[in-house]
Amino acid sequence: MILEVDAVSKRFGALTALNRVGFAVDEGQIFSVIGPNGAGKSTLFNVVSGLFAPDAGRVRFRGVDITGLPPERVNRLGLAKTFQITNIFPEISVLDNVRVAAQSRTPESGRLVSLWRRPDVDGVACALLETFGLGARRDAHARDLSHGEQRYLEICVALATDPRLLLLDEPTAGMTPGETRDATALVRKVVLERGLTLLLIEHDMSVVMGISDRVAVLHFGEKIAEGTPEAIRSDPRVIEAYLGGGDD
């Protein structure tokens, strides 16, 4: 078990964004969290990745209690995430975006020598960009990439920190159905090749069903179902809450 979320609650004022949500992700699994907009999916990610401390409950990652640790500490333990709204370094080159992420794991990082030494991470960075088809765009400013390319760059940046667990928050948001299919296949391939565990938030059911080993469904901050994609697809509560809910 690589990640264990145990009865996590998070309130914002009167709004209960998460109410005793719990699940466990096994090493090497592709685990998806789905739910309509506003179900609390991004809040869940923000709690797991350290942006918010939960009001109640614990989060354990690789056996370490990470509840309330700040994002930089959680990341150093081997958890990287992408954001629902593209979150990259806009005014520097595509390659520099990935370099700054990759050098975070070099021996220089956080030590005094980092003031005068520049670790060579170009091999790792370029290989990642090639994987996501951005090799030819490496010298472009990140802001000049297309939306789809920026989504890929964001995944590259997260992967460059060499995580064990990758959290992707709606990676295909804003993509066309064709792009979504390609992106999903590519992500699945990379995750399998690197032996990563993937925790995926999706709002598009078709993405999830194709690649997930296990799916949890959030609705108004509560987990209403968890199981294999087949079981989820036929679960009446899910159909009622999600598919029949008029979303999309």
Partner 1 sequence: MSVLGWRALLVFALLAALPLVPGMSRYYLLLAFDALLFGAIAMSLDLLMGYTGLVSFGHAAFYGLGAYATAILMERGVQSVWACVGFAALVVSYFATARRGIYFALLTLIFAEVVYTFFRYTQTFGGSDGIQGLPDATVLPGLVIDTPTRKYYLVLAYLLIAYAICRVVVASHFGRVLVAIRENEDRARFLGYNVPRYKMGACMISALLTGVGGAIYPMRSAFATPDLMLWTESGEFIISVMIGGLGTLVGPIIGGAFFTILRDKVSSIVDWYFIVIGGVLIVIVLFMPRGLLGLRRIFSRRAAA
Which residues are CB-contacts of 187 (< 8 A; sequence separation ≥ 6)? 155, 168, 171, 198, 211
- Compute the least distance from the CB of residue 231 to partner 1, in Å: 33
**Residues 76-105 contacting partner 1, CB under 8 A:** 76, 80-81, 83, 87-92, 96, 99-101, 103-105
Q: Which residue of 22, 38, 68, 71 would you call a contact of partner 1, by CB under 8 A?
A: 71
Binding flag, residue 157, partner 1 (CB under 8 A): yes
In the bound complex, what is the minimum distance in angstroms from residue 244's beta carbon to partner 1?
Answer: 36
Of the pair 166, 238, the CB lying nearest partner 1 is at: 166
Least distance between partner 1 and beta carbon 150 (Å): 12
Spatial distance between the Cα atoms of 246 and 46, rounded to a whole number of angstroms: 26
Looking at the Cβ atoms of 132 and 242, the one nearer to partner 1 is 132
Burial of 9 (C-beta count, 10 Å sphere; 0-12/13-18/19+): middle
Output the six-digit token pair for 47: 């709690």
Instruction: Please identify, using beta-carbon distances, which residue of 96 and 222 lies nearer to partner 1.
Output: 96
Query: Which amino acid makes up residue 55?
Result: D
User: Nearest-CA neighbor of 32 among 152, 243, 188, 241?
Assistant: 188
Segment interacting with partner 1 (CB under 8 A) among 3-11, 12-20, 75-83, 233-241 = 75-83
Single-letter code of the amino acid located at 208 = V
**Region 161-220 residues binding partner 1, contact defined as CB under 8 A:** 161
Q: If binding is defined by CB under 8 A, does position 122 make contact with partner 1?
A: no
Instruction: Return the residues of window 47-66 that contact partner 1 according to CB under 8 A.
Output: 49
CB of 193 to partner 1, least distance (A): 22
Cα angle value 239/18/35 (rounded, 5°): 25
Instruction: Work out whether 141 is an interface residue with partner 1 (CB under 8 A).
Output: no
Helix (H, G, I), strand (E, B) or coil at 155: helix
Q: Which stretch binds partner 1 (CB under 8 A): 7-15, 70-78, 205-213, 223-231?
A: 70-78
Answer left, alpha or beta for residue 234, where phi above 0 means left and psi between -120 and 50 means alpha: alpha
Helices (H), 114-245: 122-131, 147-160, 177-193, 205-211, 229-234, 236-238
Applying CB under 8 A, the residues found at the interface with partner 1 are 49, 70-72, 75-76, 80-81, 83, 87-92, 96, 99-101, 103-106, 108-110, 114-119, 157-158, 160-161
